[in-house]
């Protein structure tokens, strides 16, 4: 059996041509899975995400599949395929009538396909920085807003098919649609989002290089966000005594979970948002719905949120205890504090 090195983007599938028999995607999978993921990405089949999560595509759609190169690149990028992998898919000629030539898409081409300004600074296949010299106002335009993902650079979820499941220590489990959220009490706030590693590139390499993306100062953006307070959703479910953390589940990969202390989750400015600067929330920034936790590192604001679980203990998942922690000589603290 052939083992293929994992993509730099966690959760991103491997190029089919790198190893004829297998790929690596959170484990070793047969090449048939690559084909299945391509079909899902371009809308030929429904998502293979477990039934507890969203299903982005409708397999019953009867309209013919016609994809230009740009649209196909956007769909494949949203599914987490890197530029070299996309090039190999385009080379097959089997996936879109107008998708050739098969040259590896440039960063500008990938960004344009995702609805982003091609002048964003690329640090990796899922990491794009805002050039601060392009910002001339209080709000960061949507197409210039930075992108940072631990999995795919974007996830293509049909807003009409999106659901949010609320479970755990609650009196009543909920299964909410976007329409359900919009029927609550929408509000708009202005808040910034910042990657915890912003400005990391300013640290010297001596005596030891800092791990992670070497950001300049552009892993930050300010926007007007429209949505509903998370507290309103939790109150509708009825939080039981003994609750400690609220765990959010991202729709990009199963391990994308983040715990938030209940007292923070009940802050009215902690929101489930579906609009950014008066427009539908862009997919690369978490659309159709993301969690917004103002004043916390961006990792707390789960993108493509599909689930909430109320638990009776501090959450001990990877993104609370292994990544995004502060380590000192005396102790190791999670960034649960502001």
Whole-angstrom distance, CA of residue 33 vs CA of residue 323: 29
The verdict on residue 131 lying in a domain is no
Distances from the Cα of 77 to the Cα of 93, 167, 203, angstroms: 17, 31, 31
Looking at residue 318, which CATH number applies to its domain?
3.90.420.10
The verdict on residue 157 lying in a domain is no
In this predicted model, what pLDDT tens digit does every residue of 200-248 receive, in sequence order? 998 888 888 888 889 999 999 999 999 999 999 999 999 999 999 999 9
Residues of the domain holding 56: 16-113
Please say whether the beta carbons of 285 and 271 come within 8 A.
no
Mark whether 217 and 323 lie in a shared domain.
yes
**pLDDT more than 70, % of the chain:** 66
User: What's the chain's average pLDDT?
Assistant: 77
Q: Is the pLDDT of residue 17 over 60?
A: no
Please say whether the beta carbons of 18 and 4 come within 8 A.
yes
Please say whether the beta carbons of 107 and 113 come within 8 A.
no
pLDDT at 53: 40
pLDDT at 150: 83
Mark whether 108 and 181 lie in a shared domain.
no
- What is the pLDDT averaged over residues 172-176? 98
**Regarding predicted confidence, which is higher, 176 or 322?**
176
**Which of 52, 84, 113 is at the close of a domain?**
113
Please say whether the beta carbons of 5 and 82 come within 8 A.
no
Tell me the pLDDT band of 323, cut-offs 50, 70 and 90. confident
Mark whether 187 and 330 lie in a shared domain.
yes
Annotate 40-101 with DSSP letters as a single string.
Answer: HHHTSS---S-TTS-----TT--S----BHHHHHHHHHHTT--HHHHHHHHHH--S-TB---
Contacts of residue 106, defined as CB under 8 A and 6 or more positions apart, other chains included, come to 83
The verdict on residue 3 lying in a domain is no
**Which of 96, 113, 130 is at the close of a domain?**
113
Mark whether 211 and 297 lie in a shared domain.
yes
* Largest separation between any pair of C-alpha atoms in the chain: 62
Tell me the pLDDT band of 259, cut-offs 50, 70 and 90. very high
pLDDT at 87: 65
Mark whether 175 and 62 lie in a shared domain.
no
Mark whether 36 and 181 lie in a shared domain.
no
Structural domain total, the chain: 2
Kindly give the residue spans of alpha helices, DSSP state H, lying in the chain.
Answer: 31-42, 69-78, 83-92, 107-113, 178-182, 230-237, 262-265, 318-321
Mark whether 194 and 100 lie in a shared domain.
no
**Which of 94, 113, 132 is at the close of a domain?**
113
In this predicted model, what pLDDT tens digit does every residue of 106-123 receive, in sequence order? 788 888 888 999 999 999
Mark whether 93 and 171 lie in a shared domain.
no
Mark whether 220 and 297 lie in a shared domain.
yes
Mark whether 81 and 225 lie in a shared domain.
no
Mark whether 202 and 297 lie in a shared domain.
yes
């Amino acid at each position: 059996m052939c083992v293929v090195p994992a993509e730099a983007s966690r959760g991103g599938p491997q190029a089919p041509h790198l190893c004829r028999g297998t790929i690596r995607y959170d484990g070793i999978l047969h090449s048939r899975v690559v084909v299945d993921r391509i079909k899902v990405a371009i809308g030929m089949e429904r998502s293979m995400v477990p039934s507890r999560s969203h299903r982005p595509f409708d397999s019953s759609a009867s309209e013919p599949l016609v994809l230009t190169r740009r649209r196909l690149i956007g769909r494949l990028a949203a599914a987490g395929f890197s530029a070299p992998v996309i090039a190999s898919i385009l080379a097959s000629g089997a996936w879109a009538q107008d998708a050739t030539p098969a040259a590896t898409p440039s960063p500008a081409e990938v960004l344009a396909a995702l609805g982003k300004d091609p002048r964003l600074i690329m640090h990796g296949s899922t990491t794009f920085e805002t050039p601060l010299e392009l910002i001339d106002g209080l709000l960061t335009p949507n197409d210039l807003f930075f992108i940072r993902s631990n999995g795919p650079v974007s996830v293509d979820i049909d807003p009409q098919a999106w659901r949010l499941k609320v479970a755990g220590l609650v009196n009543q489990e909920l299964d909410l649609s976007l329409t359900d959220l919009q029927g609550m009490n929408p509000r708009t706030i202005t808040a910034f989002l910042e990657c915890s590693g912003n400005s990391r590139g300013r640290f010297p390499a001596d005596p030891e290089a800092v791990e992670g993306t070497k950001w300049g100062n552009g892993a930050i953006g300010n926007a007007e966000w429209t949505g509903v307070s998370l507290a309103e959703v939790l109150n509708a479910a009825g939080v039981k005594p003994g609750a400690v953390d609220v765990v959010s589940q991202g729709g990009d990969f199963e391990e994308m979970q983040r715990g938030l202390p209940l007292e923070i989750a009940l802050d009215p400015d902690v929101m489930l948002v579906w609009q950014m600067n008066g427009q539908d929330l862009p997919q690369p920034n978490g659309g159709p719905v993301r969690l917004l936790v103002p004043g916390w590192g961006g990792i707390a604001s789960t993108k493509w949120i599909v689930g909430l679980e109320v638990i009776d203990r501090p959450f001990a998942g990877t993104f609370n205890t292994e990544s995004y922690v502060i380590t000192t000589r005396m102790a190791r603290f999670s960034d649960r504090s502001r």
